[in-house]
Amino acid sequence: MADAVAPLLRTEEIGKTFKVQRRHRLVTRNVDFVALDKISFQVRPGETVGLVGESGSGKSTTARVVARLLEPSTGRLFFQEEDITHATGSTLRRIRSQVQFVFQDPFSSLNPRHTVQQIITAPLVYQGRPVPGGARKFAGDLLEQVGLDPDHVDRYPHQFSGGQAQRIGIARAIAVRPSLVICDEAVSALDVSVQAQVIELLRGLQREYGFAYLFIAHDLAVVRQVAHWVCVMSEGRIVEQGHRDAIFDHPQHPYTRTLLEAVPRIPSDWVLPGRSGHHPAPAQKHEGEG
């Protein structure tokens, strides 16, 4: 079934090298740092690919390369079967309008001096496209789609809670009806209950509009809730990838197993506290919320 659909995005052994300065004694030298090494994966339309791995493993660099904010050093990148590895000019602008980002911290990624209406319509204005139905109505409709009050279009980001601000970030991302939304740790800074609501929103938007997501998170419990396909990254490489259930239930790579061991599990005989007093709840490890 899965292979019948042409991939929206496909990478073929992408590599990314950065020039970095290394100091030894009094001598500073430029050396190559390999941030990505032969990254191959694909995202199909309407599907969520989870990208997991510890900090510094190359997740954000992968995201920036596939959105062509960075140019790959080696390998090839295809968007809707078109080779965009070294695309420039109007091709690059066309691709970038198809790919939108939601970042971890909504308050630093939303302009504090702009109203919600200006924020949500900015991607269209930037692309020189008319705002359908007028800016106010357009922004209000989008606020509604992300579960916020459409009358709040004149407010500023600081007038919202973290979860609400992240919804505004999502509204901005989907305003141009992209085919791919990259969520780079988009729910990582939110409280667990707010996190669940934002995840539900993202899933609902995917069902309704068919967005594909590249969903980056270091929290595997979160990825398990959203991803159809999971890529596990370590030190610039994808060490294992597969269907969500295969990765979580039968991890092959030792690194994946280590990551999974850090996720608290709910045993199958778990009884919710308060339902039956005689069965003590097992000691539960708390997830790091930072």
Q: Which residues bind ligand ADP (CB under 6 A)?
A: 18, 20, 33, 35, 53, 55-61
Complex with ligand ADP: residue 54 or 141, whichever CB lies closer:
54
Q: Among residues 11, 48, 57, 60, which is the contact residue for Mg ion, using CB under 5 A?
A: 60
Q: Report what 56 binds from ligand ADP, Mg ion, none; CB cut-off 5-8 Å by kind.
A: ligand ADP
Q: Report what 232 binds from Mg ion, ligand ADP, none; CB cut-off 5-8 Å by kind.
A: none
Complex with ligand ADP: residue 245 or 289, whichever CB lies closer:
289
The helix/strand/coil state of 49 is strand
Q: Report what 121 binds from ligand ADP, Mg ion, none; CB cut-off 5-8 Å by kind.
A: none
Is 116 in contact with 143 (CB distance < 8 Å)?
Answer: yes
Q: How far apart are the first and last CA of the chain?
A: 39
Complex with Mg ion: residue 59 or 228, whichever CB lies closer:
59
Burial of 92 (C-beta count, 10 Å sphere; 0-12/13-18/19+)? middle
Buried b (16+ CB within 10 A) or exposed e, 215-234: bbbbbbbbbbbbbbbbbbbb
Name residue 21's beta-bridge partners.
30
Give the number of residues in contact with Mg ion, rule: CB under 5 A: 2
Burial of 5 (C-beta count, 10 Å sphere; 0-12/13-18/19+)? exposed
To Mg ion, the closest distance from the beta carbon of 63 in angstroms equals 8
Complex with ligand ADP: residue 196 or 221, whichever CB lies closer:
221
To ligand ADP, the closest distance from the beta carbon of 233 in angstroms equals 7
Is 11 in contact with 85 (CB distance < 8 Å)?
Answer: no
CA 27, CA 282: separation in Å to the nearest integer?
56
Q: Report what 276 binds from ligand ADP, Mg ion, none; CB cut-off 5-8 Å by kind.
A: none
164 makes contact with Mg ion (CB under 5 A): no
Complex with ligand ADP: residue 168 or 222, whichever CB lies closer:
222
Crossing angle of the two packed helices 135-145 and 116-126, in degrees rounded to 10:
110
Closest CA to 47 of 197, 202, 251: 202
Is 7 in contact with 43 (CB distance < 8 Å)?
Answer: yes
To Mg ion, the closest distance from the beta carbon of 59 in angstroms equals 5
Q: Report what 57 binds from ligand ADP, Mg ion, none; CB cut-off 5-8 Å by kind.
A: ligand ADP
104 makes contact with Mg ion (CB under 5 A): no
To Mg ion, the closest distance from the beta carbon of 36 in angstroms equals 13
The helix/strand/coil state of 126 is helix
Complex with ligand ADP: residue 59 or 244, whichever CB lies closer:
59
8-state DSSP, 265? -
To Mg ion, the closest distance from the beta carbon of 127 in angstroms equals 26
To Mg ion, the closest distance from the beta carbon of 145 in angstroms equals 27
Q: Which residue spans within 44-164 are E strands per DSSP?
A: 48-52, 74-79, 82-83, 99-102
To Mg ion, the closest distance from the beta carbon of 72 in angstroms equals 18
Q: Report what 61 binds from ligand ADP, Mg ion, none; CB cut-off 5-8 Å by kind.
A: ligand ADP
Judged by the rule CB under 5 A, the positions of this chain that interact with Mg ion are 59-60
